[in-house]
Structure 1
Amino acid sequence: MIVKLAEGNLKTKFGEYREVLFYNGQKEAIALLMGDVAGAENVLCRVHSSCLFGHAFNSIECDCREQMEISQQLIQQEGKGIVIWLDQEGKGNGHFALLKSVEYKRLGLAPADAYEAVGFKRDARDYTIAADILNELGVKSIRMLTNNPRKVEPLTKHGVEVVGIRSTEL
């Protein structure tokens, strides 16, 4: 179960969004909404995990910031969409795991393999709260903005209809 804690308007370089803060009893998650999504079908939706390297430190070793920007640009062009921001640094393993895995990534390992090489789960992310948010908002169906088709199954398992995937490939 999720609870809406607060909301307000947020001006970005990609237009104005309504920010809605949710809490599931353990973590907060943020939904950035552009346009009226209640009851809407085929809504562009980016489910995005936090990344200090990319978003706060402007690292050039990951594409997190760019994927977020591309998603916001696409939503702005369409005039409607959702970005769900989840506190799941390091594929849900935390920032420590991210730091520990960097050297393996620099050697050419894929991120999931690098996490496993340093003793963490390949991908510990949980998308339940994202599904709960979409259901709470009354969204009928979404088009995922992602390069990771594995995000679809956990959402559909929790009642979200995913009608398509659009890449955020650079």
Structure 2
Amino acid sequence: MIVKLAEGNLKTKFGEYHEILFYNGQKESFALVMGEVAGAADVLCRVHSSCIFGHHFNSIECDCREQMEISQQLIQKEGRGIVIWLEQEGKGNGHFALLKSVAYKRKGLGQADAYEAVGFKKDARDYREAADILKELGVKSIRMLTDNPNKAETLTKYGIHVTGIQPTRLLSV
């Protein structure tokens, strides 16, 4: 269950969004909403997990920041969409797991396999909160901005109608 805590407008280099802050009893998450989404179908939606390396330290070893920028550009171009930010650092394993996995990733393992090599789950993220937020926003259906089909499958299990997936890697917008 989520509770709406606060909301306000946020100006970004990709247009103005309405930010809505939610709380699930343990963590905060938020939705950045552009345009009218209540009752709307096929709304572009990026479900994005926190990434300290990419967003705070501008690391060139991950593409999280770029995926966020591409998503916001696509939403701006369409004039309507949602970015949901979840506190799920390190694919839900935490920053410690990310730090421990770096050596394996630099040896050529993919990130998920690097987590597993140091004793963590390949992907420990949960998207129930994203589904709850989308329900709270009253969206009829979404088009996912993702390179991870598991996100769409999980949201579908939680009752969200996903009409399509649009990759965010290496898109030119």
Q: Percent identity?
A: 81
Which ranges of 4 or more aligned residues in structure 1 deviate by more than 4 Å? none
Q: CA deviation at 1:23?
A: 0.7
**Residues in 1 aligned to 2:124 and 2:167: alpha-carbon distance in whole angstroms:** 22
- Give 1:72's aligned residue: 72
Q: CA deviation at 1:153?
A: 1.4
Mind listing any 5+ residue stretches in structure 1 that lack a counterpart? none
**Residues in 2 aligned to 1:35 and 1:119: alpha-carbon distance in whole angstroms:** 43
Mind listing any 5+ residue stretches in structure 2 that lack a counterpart? none
Q: 1:52 corresponds to which letter in structure 2?
A: I
Q: 2:96 corresponds to which letter in structure 1?
A: F
- Give 2:127's aligned residue: 127
Deviations 1:108-166 (A, max 9, x none): 10111000000101100010000000001100000000011111111011110000000
Q: 1:49 corresponds to which letter in structure 2?
A: S
Deviations 1:23-64 (A, max 9, x none): 111211110000010000000000000000000000000000
TM-score norm. by structure 1 comes to 0.99
Q: CA deviation at 1:98?
A: 0.3
TM-score norm. by structure 2 comes to 0.97
State the Cα RMSD in Å.
0.5
Asked if 1:59 corresponds to 2:59, the answer is: yes
- Give 1:40's aligned residue: 40
**Residues in 1 aligned to 2:112 and 2:49: alpha-carbon distance in whole angstroms:** 14
**Residues in 1 aligned to 2:32 and 2:55: alpha-carbon distance in whole angstroms:** 16
